[in-house]
Amino acid sequence: MSTAQGQFRVGLIGFGLGGASFHAPLIQATQGLELTHVVTANPDRQAQARTAIPGVTVLPDADALWTKAGDLDLVVISTPNRSHAPLALRALEVGLAVVIDKPFALSADEARQVIDSARARKLPVSAYHIRRWDSECLTLQALMARNELGRILRFESRLERWRPEPKGGWKERGVAEEGGGLLYDIGSHLIDQALYLFGPVREVYAELDQRRQSVESDDDVFVALTHRNGVRSHLWTSVMAAQPGPRLRVMGDRATFVKQQGDIQEPALRAGGRPDRPGWGEEPPERWGILSDGVSQRPVKSEPGAYQRFYEGMVRCLKDGAPPPVDAEDAVRGLEIIEAARRSAAERRVVTLA
């Protein structure tokens, strides 16, 4: 399956912001992977790919990639949301392992079709939920492991920005049925983090709004989850936050942890950084969170962000048969919550999950 040098060969479908900044640099930085093919029809992006990835083969569409299936081991899908599941099913049909960017599919049922196909063919498929390796998520896990917060009562998580004028891309034009809007986009990450940290959910309440004119999809989102273990997760994402709230506030019965600013890996990747360079993911002290027990408070050194762990996990999966770095079943559970959130917002009620 791999090259003579032991590298697993990767084909990347899509070379917009996601493909160019959040997949290609991480793949290139991962020992054991070789990014050999990129699919994009855009001439400017084709030129960008050839410059950024020496020796890469650039193809105009996915059909051209399927004819090269024998030259590949893994396909990464970073395309408009409505195409995720159809492309994944086709990749599996031609015998390739698959990584699917968020959202994994447009519905839980569609996601299950992909998983069933992968199981039938004994091929790995994984969801690209890399914000499990955000610095603040890793730091919170370390605090929980040391029981510094005590029993967790409430998890508050925000990914907000200020973009009052629409950019006009498909994420803003596309309706929810096509996977447009913030709930499917950033909401997928927030929900996955909450599930990863605190487990299954029994109740969902959501408020989904369109705050800007000419936008067809939700751009201001609040989701409240009640986990089976009693933890409540409150999740926000919006493009109407001129002054964003804290990235994290986590309340326990012993202490509260507050992190004002978010992980630095996204801006680093956008600026051309790579995780195989010194100091990757490390935050300066002024970005550290604060732990308070109501009497005193102290800064908590941030754990370095580590998006590179995802593709390192894919190498172990392909080489040794280890589990994928993100179980695709986790994506199904996240999509079930997204569907419940849409029902909750439409019907203005709490939705109970089975």
**15 band by pLDDT with thresholds 50, 70 and 90:** very high
| CATH architecture classification, 131-307+337-352 | 2-Layer Sandwich (3.30)
Q: Give the chain's radius of gyration (CA, Å).
A: 20
Percent of the chain with pLDDT strictly greater than 70: 97
Residue 165 Cα distances to 49, 123, 162, 194, 229, angstroms: 29, 43, 9, 30, 40
Higher pLDDT, 38 or 6: 38
pLDDT at 172: 66
Count other C-beta atoms under 10 Å from residue 284's C-beta: 8
pLDDT at 69: 97
pLDDT at 179: 86
**214 band by pLDDT with thresholds 50, 70 and 90:** confident
Which of 170, 161, 172, 160 has the alpha carbon at shortest distance from 214? 172
Count other C-beta atoms under 10 Å from residue 334's C-beta: 28
Domain positions in the chain: 8-130+309-323, 131-307+337-352
pLDDT at 200: 98
CA dihedral over 55, 60, 62, 67, signed as positive or negative:
negative
Average pLDDT of span 11-27: 97
pLDDT over 70 at 136, yes or no: yes
pLDDT over 90 at 215, yes or no: no
Q: What is the pLDDT of residues 287-342, one digit of tens each?
A: 999 999 999 999 999 999 999 999 999 999 999 999 999 999 999 999 999 999 99
Burial, 145: exposed, middle or buried (Cβ in 10 Å; 0-12, 13-18, 19+)? exposed
**129 band by pLDDT with thresholds 50, 70 and 90:** very high
The token duo for 348 is: 């203005």
pLDDT at 171: 62
Q: What is the pLDDT of residues 218-275, one digit of tens each?
A: 999 999 999 999 999 999 999 999 999 999 999 999 999 999 999 999 999 999 999 9
**pTM, to two decimals:** 0.95
Topology of domain 8-130+309-323 in CATH is: Rossmann fold (3.40.50)
pLDDT at 170: 62
244 phi, psi to nearest 5 deg:
-65, 150
pLDDT over 50 at 4, yes or no: no
Give the single-character DSSP code of 286. G
Q: What is the pLDDT of residues 33-78, one digit of tens each?
A: 999 999 999 999 999 999 999 999 999 999 999 999 999 999 999 9
Average pLDDT score over the chain: 96
